[in-house]
Amino acid sequence: MDHLLSMKRLGPDGIIRILDRAAELRGGAVPEIGRTHYISNLFFEPSTRTKTSFEMAERRLGLDVIPFEAGFSSTLKGETLYDTVRTLEAIGLDALVIRSPEDRFYKELEGRTSVAIINAGDGSGQHPTQTLLDLFTLREEFGTLEGLKVTIAGDVSHSRVAKSGRDALQMFGADVRILCPPEWQGDFESSEDWEEVLPDSDAVMLLRVQHERHSGEGSFSAHSYHERYGLTAGRAERMKKGAIILHPAPVNRGVEIAGELVEHSRSRIFRQVENGVYVRMAVLETILKGRD
């Protein structure tokens, strides 16, 4: 594996290899990196979980992390992402973790640079490592991904998590159902009725309402959204036995999910964050070993 750009490119065999290695690392396996590698994290959008998770993974692997601050980079002077990447390649970096507001930002880089590219989120496109940690959490809970019924509820048209999650889950025969307002369904087939999807769902994944991507779409009421499309405490009580709650975060408490459910016994939200470190360790290790 030279890069990690999307779930479809990774494929089911690649997914299983990453999940298996993440499980080994979580169980205490010693990382296998070899020589010193240099890496940098280029985040052109705000991030707490993904950025710090990658930083923790990199340090646990013993990588040399070269600081990069988007707010002080030459991109503010008009430098293209391609020129930034080529500059960092020339300096001697082996891999770059990139989050960009542009869909498929990596298109301008493919075949034009030898540095490894890891997609940490591209616009409303894909978020491969988030999906990998979601799959890891599901497999950890249920022992398999095959045949699971997973409901994704929320702002799917703008969600890279929904798109990469659907792509990956369907590779393993999971039944992915979507619940959202009609104007937010994008190219998904969706429902507006919780009772159509809730009773037999093994997992319910809530998505943050992305206010920043809804410019010009009129007024929005957090209360009415929560009552119609959010996971309320009452709805959580009607979930099937053993079903779990997921959320990629950050969480809008009282909008897509009731505040008291974030740390409910069904919730795996903070477990997802924890698992993300091991998944990202596995991704980085796999890519860097491949380079050697």
Q: Is 86 annotated as a binding residue?
A: no
User: How many whole angstroms separate alpha carbon 245 and alpha carbon 126?
Assistant: 21
Q: What is the mean pLDDT of the chain?
A: 94
How far from 5 is each of 1, 2, 103, 141, CA to CA, in Å? 10, 10, 11, 26
Q: Do domains 7-126+276-291 and 128-272 have the same CATH topology?
A: yes
> What are the structure tokens assigned to 103, written together?
């869909």
Mean pLDDT over 229-244 rounds to 97
Which among 171, 233, 173, 243 is positioned nearest to 205, based on CA atoms? 243
Q: Is 149 annotated as a binding residue?
A: no
For the cut 80, the answer to whether the pLDDT of residue 215 exceeds it is: no
> Which residue's entry shows tokens 């964050």?
273
Which among 160, 156, 168 is positioned nearest to 124, based on CA atoms? 160
> What are the structure tokens assigned to 3, written together?
């890069």
Q: Is 249 annotated as a binding residue?
A: yes
For the cut 90, the answer to whether the pLDDT of residue 209 exceeds it is: no
For the cut 80, the answer to whether the pLDDT of residue 220 exceeds it is: no
pLDDT of residue 187: 86
Instruction: Say if residue 173 is exposed, middle or buried (CB neighbours under 10 Å; 0-12, 13-18, 19+).
Output: exposed
Q: Is 250 annotated as a binding residue?
A: yes
Q: Is 50 annotated as a binding residue?
A: yes
Q: Is 126 annotated as a binding residue?
A: no
- pLDDT-derived band at 291, boundaries 50, 70, 90: confident
Fold classification of 128-272 (topology level) = Rossmann fold (3.40.50)
Domain boundaries, the chain: 7-126+276-291, 128-272
pLDDT of residue 218: 55
CATH 3.40.50.300 fits 7-126+276-291, yes or no: no
User: How many whole angstroms separate alpha carbon 242 and alpha carbon 103?
Assistant: 36
Secondary element (H or E) of residue 246: strand 244-246
Active-site annotation, residues: 49-50, 77, 99, 127
- 135-150 pLDDT tens trace: 999 999 999 999 999 9
Q: Is 185 annotated as a binding residue?
A: no
Q: Is 289 annotated as a binding residue?
A: no
Return the number of other C-beta atoms located less than 10 Å from residue 141's C-beta.
Answer: 17
Specify the 3-state DSSP secondary structure of 240: coil
Mean pLDDT over 199-220 rounds to 76
> What are the structure tokens assigned to 17, written together?
């290899």
What's the pTM? 0.94
State phi, psi for 231 to the nearest 5 degrees: -90, 100
Mean pLDDT over 187-215 rounds to 86
